[in-house]
Amino acid sequence: MENKFYLGSHVGMNSKNKYLIGSAQEAIDNGANTLMFFTGAPQNTIRTATEKLNIEEFQTLLKDNNIDISKVICHGPYTINLANTVKPETFELGVRLLKEELIRLEAIGVHTVVLHPGAAVGAPREQALESVANGLNLVYKELPNTPVKVALETMSGKGTEVCISFEEMKYVLDRVERKDMVGVCFDTCHMHDAGYDVKNNFDKVVDEFDQTIGLDKLLAIHLNDSKNPINAHKDRHQNIGYGYIGFKALASVVHNPLFKEIPILLETPWLDEKTSPYKVEIEMLKENKFKDNFNLEIIED
């Protein structure tokens, strides 16, 4: 049966659950047909050797459950900040870590990594955007044959984050030498917080993206509600249907035929340390029907 859409969530990846085997199993248990994982803790540089990650079993488990590995996504570590021109060592670390991540992902067989473009930390924005492109150019120069693409994530604009508008994203993409290897990941919460009207006029937002950058550059979507009103420049994800974007708008992203080949991943908050929302949220979105399962406050606006 042909998929109407690829829908999944962020999943864990740790030794307790046999690394990638646990990641795939978590997605399967949630009723997902795609998934996104970190290859290690996002806040540090420590990574488990790829030979310990159970790659073959992971690939088999995906195949046996009709999950197309080409739709599986990795999220790059938060420690990478290619926009930092204030501290050269931070930029250099980012280039090294991204290069290592691409090498690991090639071994795993996952060919898309979502990356936060980073923050200017006091430098002019244009300089920071140039720096993101420079970092990507250095990585792909050193790995000319890698099959792994980078999807730069749309950001909310908290602090000095860059790539909060399509124009800023275009500025980077225009300066990337390997245009076939770098694209964009929408984050619905971030876009809403950056001032794009995801709730009432997402078609217009998508049209603006297509005119500015081109829909062929969209490689992934992070589907999140927001705890803040539009244009708040915060970054606080909320569970689907309980935030300022609302269920209807977010479900319509999933069911939009424009995105039927684009992996859509949830990064909504866990309800407590033990309770994941993803199985319930995936089911609601598939059925296109909101159910108040979590007893959180629903924003009426």
Measured distance CA(218)–CA(208) in Å, rounded: 13
Ligand-binding site membership of 10 (annotated): no
Helices then strands, each counted (H, E), the chain: 9, 10
* Amino acid present at 191: M
DSSP state letter for 269: P
Ligand-binding site membership of 29 (annotated): no
Ligand-binding site membership of 180 (annotated): no
Phi, psi for 219 (deg, rounded to 5): -105, -20
Sign of CA dihedral 215, 218, 219, 220: negative
Could you tell me if 162 and 118 are in contact, meaning their C-beta atoms sit under 8 angstroms apart? Answer: yes
- CA end-to-end span of the chain, whole Å? 39
SS3 content of the chain, % helix, strand, coil (to 5): 40, 15, 45
Ligand-binding site membership of 111 (annotated): no
Measured distance CA(193)–CA(287) in Å, rounded: 27
Measured distance CA(35)–CA(27) in Å, rounded: 6
Residue 44: exposure state from Cβ atoms within 10 A (0-12, 13-18, ≥19): exposed
Ligand-binding site membership of 273 (annotated): no
- Residue holding tokens 């606080």? 236
Ligand-binding site membership of 187 (annotated): yes
Could you tell me if 74 and 113 are in contact, meaning their C-beta atoms sit under 8 angstroms apart? Answer: yes
Ligand-binding site membership of 255 (annotated): no
Of 275, 277, 264, whose CA–CA distance to 4 is shortest?
264
Q: Binding site for Zn(2+): what residues are annotated?
A: 75, 116, 153, 187, 190, 222, 235, 237, 267
Which residues participate in the annotated binding site?
A: 75, 116, 153, 187, 190, 222, 235, 237, 267
